[in-house]
Structure 1
Amino acid sequence: MSERRWSIGELARASGVTVRTLHHYDRIGLVRPRERTPAGHRRYTEADARRLYRVRTLCGLGLSLDEVAAVLRNAQDDLGSLRGLLTAQLADLESRAARLEESAQRLRGLLARLDGPDMPGPEQFLATLEPMPVDVRRYLSEAQLAAITEQAAKLGSDAIEQAKTEWLALFTRLRQHLLGGTPVDDPAVRELVASWREIAAAFHAGDLEAATSALWEDNRAGLGRELDERLGWSGPGSAAEVVDYLRKARAAGETGKDH
């Protein structure tokens, strides 16, 4: 029997990724079509489709594209390796389902209160929003959480909301530079890093900067995935990759100061 083939558009539709993403994967060597037509059009084989599944699943588990490439460099296209990846993806989906069910329970409770004679209080509506932001509390020690809470109280809610707005704008612009292939030592990227430092300085009292750096190192996959969900990002340029890009840019700036 002849093996199934996909054009780039067919594979994009079947897998839920964009054609642009597939072009990017081809360019960096993550998923390259094994065949081309006489006219030069890409044709993806069944093995290519399985490799795309591996790439998308590993990205979904929080790995950067560089890390995905390293994992797949010596990976075998066999039942054993696929079984391990399927098991990891299932565990991740079950964890997400548990969080969604918790949110659904909150909303059911709120809907039940609407059947009563009184309007639920605003704190009950706000409680349904708690799972939406990235919750770093479960990654922190009690001492670290207390230090961050104390610093936030000193800054005040207005300053915190302003910092969030500025942070999102900077993060988005860094992602654009990452996707555009801008070197980390480019002046435009350095300017963004300087602005980032100004925002971070207000929150990093004492040893908080070291604590947050360690927090990222220890929980990159989970935090990156939660950031992607919060920001609605998918495909190349994940939140974890943007943070890695930022850290490389900061390191490049420190190296430049030493010379």
Structure 2
Amino acid sequence: MRSMPDDLDIDLDGLTVGQVSTWVGVTVRALHHWDEIGLARPSLRTPAGYRLYTAGDLERLHRIVVYREVGLGLDKIRAVLDGSTADVPGALRAQRAQVTERIERLHRLGAGLDRMIDAHERGLLLTVEQQAAIFGSGWNPDWPAQARRRYGDTPQWQQYAERSAARSPEEWQAVAAAVSALDLALADAMDAGVEPGGPEANRLVERHREVFAAYFPLSRRMQVCLARMYEADPAYAAHYDGIRPGFAAWFRRAVDESARAHGIDPATATWE
């Protein structure tokens, strides 16, 4: 709020709403509203009927602006100014408690935004030690950065980052356990001679989509592309064939047959 100049003769002439708006630092619309609700009404009128503000009016406006800036609502401001509340310090303490709560909430929001930014940039918000403990000694801590460079501009990376930002190490441990259990179930099915395209293989393919949803939703077409990469990419193939020799190729065939059962040609499936 601007201070009033000492040489302005407001007692004699008063100030128009436009002048008050400039000096007090509030909009004309706000002044009209406060006038309409009886919070701050100009005390004088010109012969033509225009309202003018006196020094006393300006003092009340000053107090309104001060209390509004500390967050009091107009009803509370009216109660303070008109003396209908005797406990002004109590009202201000209550407002201070609300401000403190709002500040704490904003700090939590800021921390959440920091985690979201980190997740979009790094993918996995775990230390190298945590990653090794959760995902095992075969885990490469460079993989998240590689995935960010490869997929960082995709909707799936954004979905993965959103999940990662909200996930604790314990929750990541549960995800890793679910993935390991699925890999073993798939490998056991292959060892048991389960044929791709059969009911048991199709059930496990569906379970793979459900487990993978911990990272991002996986369509059947995307699953075909993923299984194809598991077999063709040397790093992925080594991982899955390390669980059972031939696992990567068997899983790719199982996914292909499941896709065909749903009217999808694996040869033409794309990441969508």
Q: TM-score, normalised by structure 2?
A: 0.36
Query: Higher relative contact order at CA 8 Å, sep ≥6: structure 1 or structure 2?
Result: 1
Alignment TM-score, normalising by the size of structure 1: 0.37
